[in-house]
C-alpha cells in the first residue's frame, strides 16, 4: 500500500506539473472569463439560471481570492489544473487497486492526461475538470465498497456526490447509477435499509450550496415550477437537455470528438475493454462501469448546445478505465515489460497530433463554426490545441481596448469578450471612466430604450464586433462602424 500511495502521489505531481505549466496565464474569453468575473465579485449564483450557478466551484474560487496573492484570474485557472491532475491520479489509483499492476494503471492515466478535452479544460477556468475529479473519486469509493462491503465507503460516496452536485449537474447522471446500485443492495438484503437514510442526509449535506440557492430563489419568487425549471435546466436550455432528435451532423461531430481526444491506436483497447471488464470482474463492478459509461455517453451524444464537446468529459473519465482493463487482460504480466512501454509511447501520440492539427486544419480550410475574427485569437490554435499557457489574447485585447480610447467612452461587448474587459478594468483599475455594456447574463447592463443616436453624438461609442448576433440587432442598419484599433467606432449614417 505504501508503494501504491507513493506512485499515486508521483502521478499526481506529474499531472500537476503538466497542467499548471500549460494553464492560461490570466483572464479568458467566454464562460471562463465570466467565472473569473463572478469570483472577483463574490457571486455564487450568477444570472443564467440555477443549473448554471455552480456554487461550490465559485465558493472555492472566492476562498482562493482571499488566500493567494497575484492575478486572481490565473489562480482561478489553477483550480482546473489541480482538479484535472486529481482526475488523472484517481484513474491511476483505481486501476492499480483493481488490477494490482503498474503498467495498466500508468497507461490508463496517460490516456486520460493527454485527452484533448480534459487537457483543454485543465488549462482554463471551468467547472468540468472539478466535475471529473468528483466522478473519479466516486468510482474509487464504489470500487472500495465492492471489494470490502464496508458501509463507510457508501456514506462517503453519498457525501461526495452531493458535493459534486453543488459543482455541476453532471452528478445527477452518476447519482442515477449509484441509486439503482444501492437500492439493489437493499432489495437483496446485502445492505440495511436504514443506511439509505444516512446516505440521504450526507448527500443533502454535500449539496447544501446548491440547495441554498434553490431555496433562496423559491422564497424570493414563490414560483415553485419556475424554480425547479431553473434548477434543472437554467435559462433556456431545457430543449437541449431533453433533446432526443439526432442529425447526421451531430453524429458526425460526436465521432470526431472521440477521434480528437484519442488520436492513438490505444483507443482500440477501449472497445476491447468493454468485453474485458467482465472477464476480469468482479461482475458487479463491470456492470456498473458499463451502465455508467452508457449513461454518460448517451447524455452527451444527443445534447445540442454549441459547446457540447465538453459534456463528454464524464465519458472521458471512464474510457481510460476500459483501456487499462483491456491491456491487463490481453497482455499477460510477463509481456508487460515490452507491451507497457509501447502502449505508453502510443499514449503520447496526441501531443504531436495537437501540435500539427491547427496548421493542417487551416490549410484544409476546415470550418470551426465561428462567424467572426476576435483580436489576438487564432481560432485554429485556440480550439484545436489544448494547452493554453500562451493564451494572452484576452488580456492583450482588453488592455489595448481600454487604453486606446478616450476617457468617458462606451464599449458594447458580447458575452465572449465582455468579461475580459471588465476584469482588466476592475482588477487592474484600467480606464475606470470607460463604460462597458453588454446584454450577457452576469452583467446585462445595456438599455436599448436610451436615445443612442444622441449618445453617439455626445460620447465615443465602440463595439467589439459589428457582426449580427454580437451587437444590438438594429445597430447594423442604423450605424456605420469604423475600425479603431481592436475595436470599431460607431458612427451615425
- Alpha helices (runs of H) in 234-312, residue ranges in sequence order: 238-241, 248-261, 267-280, 283-301
Residue found under cell 441554498: 212
Residue 150, pLDDT score? 97
Residue 473, pLDDT score? 87
H or E stretch covering 412: strand 410-412
Q: Evaluate whether 445 touches 438 at the Cβ level (below 8 Å).
A: yes
Residue 442, pLDDT score? 81
Q: What does the DSSP 8-state code read for residue 44? A: S
Low-confidence ranges of the chain (pLDDT < 70): 1, 237-240, 243
* Cis ω for the linkage preceding 441 (within 30 of 0): no
Residue 335, pLDDT score? 83
Query: Which DSSP string do the residues of 183-200 spell out, in sequence order?
Result: HHHHHTTSS-THHHHHHH
Instruction: Tell which residue, 121, 117, 52, has the closest CA to residue 82.
Output: 121
Strand, helix or coil for residue 279:
helix
**pTM of the predicted model as reported, rounded to 2 decimal places:** 0.94
Residue 426, pLDDT score? 97
Residue 246, pLDDT score? 78
pLDDT in tens, 76-121: 999 999 999 999 999 999 999 999 999 999 999 999 999 999 999 9
Determine the Cα–Cα distance for residues 24 and 75; give it in Å rounded to an integer: 10
C-alpha cell recorded at residue 479: 450605424
Residue ranges per structural domain of the chain = 2-352, 393-492
Determine the Cα–Cα distance for residues 288 and 224; give it in Å rounded to an integer: 34
Determine the Cα–Cα distance for residues 265 and 72; give it in Å rounded to an integer: 40
Residue 307, pLDDT score? 81
Residue 237, pLDDT score? 67
**How many residues appear in the chain?**
493
Amino acid at each position: 500500500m505504501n508503494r501504491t500511495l507513493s506512485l499515486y502521489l508521483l502521478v499526481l505531481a506529474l499531472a500537476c506539473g503538466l497542467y499548471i505549466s500549460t494553464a492560461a496565464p490570466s483572464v479568458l474569453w467566454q464562460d471562463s472569463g465570466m467565472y473569473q468575473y463572478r469570483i472577483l465579485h463574490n457571486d455564487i449564483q450568477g444570472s443564467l439560471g440555477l443549473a448554471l450557478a455552480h456554487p461550490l466551484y465559485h465558493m472555492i474560487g472566492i476562498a482562493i481570492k482571499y488566500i493567494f496573492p497575484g492575478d486572481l484570474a490565473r489562480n482561478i485557472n489553477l483550480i482546473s489544473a489541480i482538479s484535472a491532475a486529481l482526475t488523472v491520479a484517481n484513474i491511476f489509483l483505481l486501476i492499480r487497486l483493481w488490477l494490482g499492476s503498474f503498467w495498466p494503471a500508468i497507461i490508463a492515466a496517460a490516456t486520460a492526461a493527454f485527452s484533448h478535452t480534459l487537457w483543454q479544460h485543465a488549462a482554463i477556468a471551468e467547472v468540468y475538470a472539478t466535475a471529473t475529479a468528483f466522478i473519479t473519486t466516486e468510482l474509487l469509493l464504489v470500487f472500495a465498497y465492492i471489494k470490502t462491503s464496508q458501509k463507510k465507503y457508501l456514506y462517503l460516496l453519498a457525501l461526495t456526490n452531493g458535493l459534486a452536485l453543488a459543482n455541476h449537474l453532471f452528478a445527477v447522471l452518476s447519482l442515477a447509477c449509484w441509486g439503482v446500485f444501492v437500492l439493489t443492495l437493499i432489495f437483496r438484503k446485502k445492505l440495511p435499509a436504514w443506511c439509505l437514510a444516512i446516505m440521504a442526509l450526507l448527500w443533502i449535506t454535500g449539496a447544501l450550496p446548491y440547495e441554498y440557492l434553490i431555496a433562496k430563489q423559491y422564497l424570493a419568487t414563490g414560483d415553485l415550477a419556475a424554480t425547479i425549471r431553473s434548477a434543472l435546466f437554467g435559462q433556456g436550455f431545457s430543449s437541449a437537455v431533453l433533446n432526443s432528435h439526432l442529425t447526421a451532423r451531430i453524429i458526425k461531430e460526436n465521432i470526431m470528438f472521440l477521434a480528437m481526444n484519442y488520436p492513438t491506436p490505444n483507443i482500440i483497447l477501449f472497445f476491447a475493454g468493454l468485453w474485458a471488464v467482465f472477464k476480469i470482474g468482479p461482475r458487479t463492478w463491470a456492470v456498473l462501469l458499463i451502465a455508467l459509461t452508457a449513461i454518460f455517453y448517451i447524455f452527451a451524444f444527443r445534447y445540442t448546445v454549441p459547446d457540447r464537446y465538453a459534456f463528454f468529459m464524464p465519458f472521458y473519465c471512464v474510457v481510460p478505465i476500459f483501456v487499462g482493463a483491456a491491456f491487463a487482460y490481453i497482455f499477460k504480466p510477463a509481456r508487460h515489460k515490452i507491451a507497457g512501454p509501447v502502449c505508453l509511447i502510443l499514449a503520447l501520440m496526441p501531443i504531436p497530433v495537437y501540435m500539427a492539427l491547427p496548421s493542417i486544419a487551416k490549410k484544409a480550410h476546415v470550418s470551426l463554426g465561428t462567424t467572426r475574427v476576435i483580436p489576438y485569437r487564432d481560432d485554429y490554435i485556440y480550439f484545436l490545441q489544448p494547452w493554453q499557457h500562451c493564451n494572452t489574447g484576452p488580456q492583450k485585447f482588453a488592455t489595448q481596448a481600454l487604453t486606446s480610447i478616450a476617457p468617458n467612452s462606451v464599449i458594447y461587448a458580447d458575452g465572449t469578450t465582455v468579461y475580459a474587459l471588465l476584469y482588466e478594468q476592475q482588477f487592474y483599475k484600467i480606464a475606470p471612466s470607460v463604460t462597458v455594456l453588454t446584454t450577457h447574463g452576469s452583467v446585462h447592463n445595456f438599455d436599448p430604450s436610451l436615445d443612442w443616436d444622441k449618445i453617439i453624438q455626445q460620447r465615443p461609442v465602440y463595439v467589439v464586433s459589428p457582426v449580427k448576433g454580437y451587437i444590438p440587432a438594429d445597430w447594423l442598419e442604423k450605424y456605420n462602424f469604423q475600425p479603431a484599433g481592436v475595436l470599431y467606432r460607431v458612427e451615425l449614417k
